Amino acid sequence: MKPVDPKVTKVGFIGTGVMGNPMATHILNAGYELYVYNRTESRAQSLVDSGATFCETPGAVAAECDVIFAIVGFPPDVESVFLGEQGIVAAAKAGSIIVDMTTSKPELAVEIAKVAAVKDVHSLDAPVSGGDIGAQKGVLSIMVGGEEAAFEAVLPLFKLMGANIVYQGPAGSGQHTKMANQIAIASTMIGMCESLAYAKAAGLDLETVLSSISKGAAGSWSLTNLAPKVLDGDYAPGFYVKHFIKDMGIALESSESMGVATPGLTIAKTLYDAIAAAGNGDCGTQALFKAYAQKG
């Protein structure tokens, strides 16, 4: 399987929202012929203005392209985009490579790979971590499952979007790795918010506290990137609360099926469910602090 080449490879990108738009922009800026689809067409307008071609369905994108990426919202969206009548697999050309970058169910990744294989289409599941900041800077962590030969062929495109790109194993392995990632983040977010709530109650200057604890043993991506947003009262989404709740639900289902106890994840989801019910579902994940601010 030959590596992608901007001179001959046509690339499709489905889902051009907060994450997808900058990811697709990196591909377009690298010189690839780009075809895009988004349910809300206006969210793809900046790409079209820069030279991308807008298509009316996911299938129309797949019919034109050699490599097709998608990053959408929820597992039903993934199923529709990839396996629907006007979806990617139905229209994809033999030998093409399809890549789901949504955080979705591992078993759905396996199903997509099986259906795609019947058509001689190569499938990868490649969820990402790093939020809107990582997408904009092209430094996402990308966890990839599926055919290793397809991974090697698409690697030049992954490198346009990410800085930490790791092949994890067969179909579904990328999604399982992302579940492990989300489980780690869930408890980390609790720790970050409880730490800030404690420091606030103690009358400390929160920025001064962060300058100490973010560079010590407690340091984390969340403390470095999201805690300052909390201090500024900035709850704009880099990654939506509603999408994190979706991820945690998938992780809980997978954990239960494997007999793995996840008490930290369970507590985190309960707290996130509460702030979503209070109207914060479209906020960024740092809005978890509101659960503690309300108690203060």
Contact 58, 86 (CB under 8 A): yes
Task: Give the whole-angstrom CA distance, residue 159 versus residue 150.
Answer: 14
List Cα–Cα distances, 84 to 32, 104, 126, in angstroms.
Answer: 27, 16, 20
Cα Rg of the chain, angstroms:
20
122-125 and 140-146 strand pairing: antiparallel
Name the residue type at position 249. G
- Residues 6 or more apart in contact with residue 62 via CB below 8 angstroms: 12, 68, 87, 88, 89, 90, 91, 92, 93, 96, 98
Active site residue 178: yes
> Which one from 10, 105, 178, 269 is the annotated catalytic residue?
178
Q: Is the distance from CB of 253 to CB of 280 less than 8 angstroms?
A: no
Chain center to CA of 277: 23
**Number of continuous H segments (helices) and E segments (strands) in the chain:** 15, 9
Distances (CA, A) of 89 to 86, 93, 122, 209, 249: 9, 8, 10, 51, 26
Three-state secondary structure call for residue 93: coil
Catalytic residue numbers, as ranges: 178
